[in-house]
Chain A
Amino acid sequence: MDNAKRLVLSSAPHLRGGASIKRDMYIVILALLFPTAGAVYFFGLYVLPMLATAILCAILTEYVAKWMRRQSFHMDGSAIITGILFVLVMPPRTPLWIVVVGSIFCIAIAKEAFGGLGHNIFNPALAGRAFITVSFAGALTRWIAPVHSLLADGITAATPLGEGFTTTLSDVELYKALFFGNVAGSAGETSALLILIGGVILLAFGLIKWQVPVFYIGTVALLSFLLGQDPLFQILAGGLMLGAVFMATDYVTSPLTTRGKIIFAVGAGVLVVLIRTWGSMPEGVCYSILLMNAFTPLIDRYVRPKPYGYVKSRNKEAAS
């Protein structure tokens, strides 16, 4: 190295850690593989074209949006996550054209219109589901029971939280079915077990805080118990597990600090019980998270960490 060679002048720190957006996103995808595999196992191979359609549409939409906004497109994996999550929250026999419309909405309206990754206020996959619910109400009324063969069409059945849900199972058998995922529901929401495996992966890599699922699910359990409902059933049925592990923990749309995240989780838990008990819909996880997404900027404004040196020193004698 001689003086003729120009030295690079970068600003400190000159050392960077191993964290990268791409790495985070691919870990989330890895964690999502478990409930996704469950979706295929319980509801058949039809889930695969749904996934392919959603992921492809999500990526293409992002590419076009970036091109229109004259920004560079990065294959950071976030569009893949949105595509997968969108399928996991939809009924397992959703027509592909609805998957196309929904996943385009997720990316174009819920994400890119707000400025792209990091700027969106609402969780894109849930916003997509909400959009489909109000636009094509019929699409979200047909649910099927878990299939016995991967190529089976599926027999219409009610979801555990839906009207007209009856079961011949004993309590213990019903809990077991709910825990393993052998019930009707959205493609990826039924198996608590597979979702929890994904959650453990996210926790192990430090991508989510345990406080979010614990306070979210805990609030639902406590409130439903106080209202005389079966807390275990309320936790395992519907999309609570999937929402608590993969959606309420979304970096972009949830508060920054751990205290803020707890407020978010408790608020979402309260909303779930309110909607399930008194709302016109059987399920409230999607709207509970979307509503709390809207409160996130407010929570971040008021819930901040305590800066160093802002309390009177408690331990004066230590210095003496």
Chain B
Amino acid sequence: MNTRVVELLGLKCPAGVHPPSQKLAAGHAIERAPLPKSVALPLQQHIGAPAKAIVKRGDEVKVGQKIAEADGFVSVPIHATLSGTVKHLATVASPVTGHPVSGVIIESDGKDEWIELTPADSETLSKEDILTRVKDAGIVGMGGATFPTHVKLSPPPEKSIKSIIVNGAECEPYITADDRLMLEETDRILRGLKTVMQVLSVKRAYIAIEENKPEAIARMRQGVAEGSLPGEVEVVAVPAKYPMGAEKTLVKSILNTEVPEGGLPMDVGTLIQNVATLAAVYDAVALGKPLVERVVTVTGLVGTPKNLLVRFGTAASSLIEQCGGADPSADEVIFGGPMMGIAQSRDDTPILKGTNCVLVKRSDIREEYSCIRCGRCIESCPMGLMPLQFVNLVKKEDYESLANYHIADCVECGACAYDCPANIPIVSYIKTGKAELRKAGVR
């Protein structure tokens, strides 16, 4: 039954909000973006230690060539996404933090020459070989979290993983990259899933897709029926309610269980993989192809919203141009969705591994009023928290009490602020509170 109907009937429903879906680019097949003249590749496009550059100015590189080496276990290498010359090593603005990070600028020779790829039969590879290939390909969680995938696929031995949840929920408004990928690259996703199930010796998988994507659900069901997946794989239509795609929300929806406080999905025997990550795993393991590009939805106030296949390091501005340019009234460029995405100070910021969307919009900054205690934030919080108390405590600078209200469990999904009638930027207050707690060393 449709989520809205369930809610109207007053039946049990997950917490969250219903922002208008605005999937403007849903009907546009994935298009390859023209190769840019140059790319800017920050050496940190993932959670963990930044990669270490192994090229110097003037080096000739080919597409897929490693230009920076992983530094430690929780780190991944970075590869050249153009063939050409290393123009210089520079500091570039990180689209995630806004802070300068070191990076490599590559100037294209226009030839798009690739390194020689070494395909393999994934079914005969050992687990270790598969994980090495995943790490060497520089794969990270492409849903936006950018956690190194080989680390996620190496759970400590005491955690037994019984199921995989494939995240195709794509609950953020506007974004259609995963939707298109499921429609057009079903096979690569399912092959990637097969490899992941093989690595973890898992016999059960759920593919979670929001019910507002019936075509993707049908296509994936068909793919599962046709494919030879090792075990039972079920495509689950989950309620279209933001933030359905958050890991813990998915675990609750699919497995009807909750990840214990402070824990990870592996604590309840499951592991979540985004659909784009799985496609990248297939490319890496079977084809030996490193991660150099991804599908990015370019949408909002642009001429024609599109889903573009983009090499990392491409400036967002060139993608916006390709979609017919930005509307003159637009004054915000967001990387990611409108709910959790990050506003960029420049429109030439490079696309990275975790950038699933470039959203061009008009700013909507509203005057903040006093909280009227309506309780909407409590009702919309998927983590069962009381967001208004965080605001009150941060205003009072009573940071110690924040822990009593479980601030650490907040996933910053923004459902509370979306629904706030007083326009209180609740997530900003929560971020301040978390930062103050870290400063004070309170856990």
Seen from chain A, the residues whose Cβ lies within 8 Å of a Cβ on chain B are: 1-3, 5-17, 19-21, 23-24, 74, 76, 115-119, 251-252, 256-257, 304-316, 318-320
Q: Are A21 and B347 in contact (CB under 8 A)?
A: no
A311 near B269 with CB under 8 A, answer: no
Chain A residues with Cβ under 8 A from B345's Cβ? 7, 9
Question: In angstroms, how far is the closest chain A Cβ from the Cβ of B320?
Answer: 7
Contact present for B421 and A23 (CB under 8 Å): yes
Q: B233 contacts which chain A residues (CB < 8 A)?
A: none
> Given A11-B427, A15-B19, A306-B384, A313–B260 Cβ distance below 8 Å?
yes
The residue on B at minimum CB distance from A312 is B260
A313 in contact with B268 (CB, 8 Å): yes
* A5 surroundings in chain B (CB, below 8 A): 331
B187-218 vs A, CB cutoff 8 Å, 1 = contact: the mask equals 00000000000000000100000000000000
The answer to whether B261 touches A307, judged by C-beta atoms less than 8 angstroms apart, is yes
Near A by CB (< 8 A), chain B positions 373-407 give 373-376, 378, 381-386, 388, 405-406
- Contact of A11 with B428 at beta-carbon distance under 8 Å, contacts A19-B421, A24-B374, A316-B257 already known: yes
* Chain A residues with CB under 8 A of B369: 21, 74, 76, 117-118
Query: Which residues of chain A are near B340, meaning CB under 8 Å?
Result: 12-13
Q: List 17 A-B contacts (CB under 8 A).
A: A3-B317, A7-B331, A7-B344, A8-B363, A12-B427, A14-B334, A14-B338, A15-B19, A16-B364, A21-B422, A24-B372, A24-B374, A76-B369, A256-B373, A257-B378, A309-B258, A320-B163
Scan B351-373; emit 1 where CB is below 8 A from any A CB, else 0. 00000000111011110011111
Take A7-B345, A12-B342, A307-B384 as given contacts and tell me if A19 and B420 are in contact as well, using a CB distance cutoff of 8 Å.
yes
Q: Which of chain A's residues have a CB closer than 8 A to the CB of B406? A: 307
Q: Give every chain A residue within 8 A of B278 (Cβ-Cβ).
A: none
Given the contacts A12-B412, A118-B371, A308-B258, A17 and B418 also touching, CB distance less than 8 Å: yes
Q: Shortest 9 CB-CB distances between A and B: which pairs?
A: A13-B414, A15-B338, A118-B370, A313-B257, A8-B363, A19-B421, A1-B326, A319-B269, A309-B261
Whether B252 is near chain A, meaning CB under 8 Å from some CB there, is yes
- B263 contacts chain A at the CB level, 8 A cutoff: yes
B420-437 contacts to A (CB < 8 Å) = 420-423, 425, 427-428, 431
B156 in the interface (beta carbon within 8 A):
no
Given A1-B320, A19-B421, A21-B369: A319 touches B384 (CB 8 Å cut-off): no
Q: Does B313 contact A (CB under 8 A)?
A: no
Q: Are B19 and A319 in contact (CB under 8 A)?
A: no
Please encode chain B, from 146 to 180, with 1 for each CB lying within 8 Å of some chain A CB and 0 for all others.
Answer: 00000000000000001100000000010000000
Q: Is the CB of B370 within 8 A of A311?
A: no
Max chain B CB contacts within 10 Å: which of A2, A251, A307?
A307
Interface mask (B281-306 → A, CB under 8 Å = 1, otherwise 0): 00000000000000000000000000
CB distance from A58 to the nearest CB of B (A): 17
Does any Cβ of A come within 8 Å of B409's Cβ? yes
Determine if B372 and A1 form an interchain contact, defined as CB atoms under 8 angstroms apart. no
Q: How far is the CB of B427 from chain A (nearest CB, A)?
A: 6
